[in-house]
Structure 1
Amino acid sequence: MTTETVPGEREGAARSEPDPRRWWALAAVATAQLMIGIDMTIMNIALPSLQRSLHLSDPGRQWVITVYALGYGGLLLLGGRLSDLIGRRRALLIGLTGFALASALGGAAPGPALLLTARAAQGVFGALLTPSVLATMAAAFPAPAERGRAFGIYGTVMGSSSGLGVVLGGVLTDYLDWRWCMFVNVPIAAAAGAGVLYAVRPVPRTPGVKIDVVGALLATAGLMGLVLGFARAEPDGWGAATTVVPLAAGVALLAAFAWTQTRVAGPLLPPRVVLDRRRGGSYLAVLGLAVGMFAALFFLTFYLQNVLGYSPVRAGVAFLPLTAGLMIGVRGVSRLLVRAPVRALLVPGLLVIAAGLALLGTVRVDSGYWTHVLPVFLLVGLGTGWVLVTANSTVTLGAGPDTAVAGAGVMTSQQIGASLGTALLSTVAGTAAAHYLRDHPGGAARAAVHGFDVASLGAAGALCLVAAVVFLVTGRAAAARPS
Structure 2
Amino acid sequence: MTRMLRAAADSRLTRRSTPSTWLVVALACAGQFLVVLDVSVVNVALPSMRADLHMSGSGLQWVVNAYAIAFAGFMLLGGRAGDLYGRKRMFLVGLALFTLASLAGGLAREGWELLAARAAQGLGAAVLAPSTLTILTAAVPEGGARARAIATWTAVGAGGGAAGGLVGGLLVDGLSWRWVLLINVPIGAVVLLGALRLLPESRAGDRRRLDLPGALLVTSGLGALAYGISQTEAAGWTAAVTLVPLIAGLVLIGLFLWVEARTAAPLMPLALFGRRAVSSANAAMFVCGSAMFCMWYFMTLYAQNVLGYSPLEAGLALVPSSLAVVGGSKLAPRLMRIAGERNVAVLGTAVAVAGFAWQSTITSDGAYLTAIMFPGILMMLGAGLAATPLAALATSGAPAGEAGLVSGLINTSRTMGGSLGLAVMSTIAAARTRGSADPVALTEGYALAFRASALVLGAGAVLMAVWLPRRTKTL
1:419 alignment partner AA: S
Tell me if 1:422 matches 2:422.
yes
Aligned pair in 2 of structure 1 residues 224, 114: CA closer, same or farther (>3 Å)? closer
User: 1:222·1:249 contact (CA, 8 Å) conserved in 2?
Assistant: yes
Aligned pair in 2 of structure 1 residues 237, 195: CA closer, same or farther (>3 Å)? farther
Between 372-381 and 282-291, report the one with greater CA deviation. 282-291
Residue aligning to 1:455: 449
Q: What displacement does 1:463 show?
A: 0.8
Matches within 5 A, 1:356-395: 356-392=355-391, 395=394
TM-score, with normalisation over the residues of structure 2? 0.81
Find the residue that maps to 1:449 and give its secondary structure. Answer: helix
1:176 alignment partner AA: L
Residue aligning to 1:480: 472
User: 1:29·1:192 contact (CA, 8 Å) conserved in 2?
Assistant: no
Name the CA distance, whole Å, in 2 between partners of 1:228 and 1:142. Answer: 46
Residue aligning to 1:46: 45
TM-score, with normalisation over the residues of structure 1? 0.79
Q: What displacement does 1:360 show?
A: 0.9
Residue aligning to 1:469: 463
Q: What displacement does 1:66 show?
A: 4.4
Residue aligning to 1:303: 302
Residue aligning to 1:247: 246
1:274 alignment partner AA: F
Residue aligning to 2:255: 256
Name the CA distance, whole Å, in 1 between partners of 2:384 and 2:146. Answer: 15
Alignment root-mean-square deviation, CA:
3.8
Q: What displacement does 1:319 show?
A: 0.5
User: 1:101·1:186 contact (CA, 8 Å) conserved in 2?
Assistant: yes
Name the CA distance, whole Å, in 2 between partners of 1:326 and 1:47. Answer: 22
Aligned pair in 2 of structure 1 residues 285, 270: CA closer, same or farther (>3 Å)? same
Q: Percent identity among equivalent residues?
A: 35
Aligned pair in 2 of structure 1 residues 125, 393: CA closer, same or farther (>3 Å)? farther
User: 2:278·2:394 contact (CA, 8 Å) conserved in 1?
Assistant: yes
Name the CA distance, whole Å, in 2 between partners of 1:455 and 1:52. Answer: 23
Find the residue that maps to 2:293 and give its secondary structure. Answer: helix
Name the CA distance, whole Å, in 1 between partners of 2:279 and 2:149. Answer: 22
Aligned pair in 2 of structure 1 residues 400, 250: CA closer, same or farther (>3 Å)? farther
Pair member with larger Rg = 2
Aligned pair in 2 of structure 1 residues 179, 432: CA closer, same or farther (>3 Å)? closer
What whole-Å deviation, never above 9, does each CA across 1:23-70 have from its counterpart, x for those lacking one? 765654443233223323433433454455556677766654444344
The answer for unaligned runs of 5 or more in structure 1 is 1-19, 438-442
Find the residue that maps to 1:262 and give its secondary structure. Answer: helix
2:407 alignment partner AA: G
User: 2:69·2:419 contact (CA, 8 Å) conserved in 1?
Assistant: no
User: 2:392·2:472 contact (CA, 8 Å) conserved in 1?
Assistant: no
Tell me if 1:317 matches 2:316.
yes
Aligned pair in 2 of structure 1 residues 184, 131: CA closer, same or farther (>3 Å)? same
Find the residue that maps to 1:40 and give its secondary structure. Answer: helix
Between 33-42 and 157-166, report the one with greater CA deviation. 157-166
2:222 alignment partner AA: L
Q: What displacement does 1:158 show?
A: 4.4
Name the CA distance, whole Å, in 2 between partners of 1:138 and 1:386. Answer: 26
Residue aligning to 2:406: 406
User: 1:291·1:421 contact (CA, 8 Å) conserved in 2?
Assistant: yes
What whole-Å deviation, never above 9, does each CA across 1:202-241 have from its counterpart, x for those lacking one? 3233333212354344333323323433454556554443
Find the residue that maps to 1:209 and give its secondary structure. Answer: coil
Q: What displacement does 1:198 show?
A: 8.4
Greater helix fraction, Structure 1 or Structure 2: 2
1:418 alignment partner AA: G
